[in-house]
Amino acid sequence: VQLQASGGGLVQAGGSLRLSCAASGGYSVTLVMAWFRQAPGKERTFVAALSGRNFGTRYADSVKGRFTISRDNAKNTVYLQMNSLKPEDTAIYYCATTSDGAALSYDVGVLRRRMGSWGQGTQVTVSS
């Protein structure tokens, strides 16, 4: 599966952005779709994931209540709606996918290693 992320940009604190990730080449409605982010000098960390089977979701504590992950299977696209953005949300955001239907139950480190395909990343910068 090939993934193409878009929608990043520069926004003031408190603002909103919606990231998109278009999938091609083997997309399936059963795939687990996820977002990760990587700030300069830091490790790539989990943000949100969405199951393809029962639309279960999982979020990092730092984004709960502010970010929402969703998907449009007709468009082979997953979204990340980001509201109430903070300067600490500044990072490159990556979409990823895995066919492992149990992925949402894993420790986040395992979840990251289970991702089979990654997009190229889109930069999100939140100014204070």
pLDDT along the chain (128 residues), means of 10: 96 98 90 96 97 87 98 94 98 96 92 95 97
Element (H, E) at 111: helix 108-114
- List Cβ neighbours of 55 (8 Å cut-off, separation of 6 or more): none
- Burial label for 30, CB within 10 Å (0-12, 13-18, 19+), is exposed
Q: What confidence tens digit (pLDDT) does each residue in 57-68 have?
A: 999 999 999 999
Identify the pLDDT of residue 27.
Answer: 85
Q: With 0-12 CB in 10 A as exposed, 13-18 as middle and 19+ as buried, what is 113? A: exposed
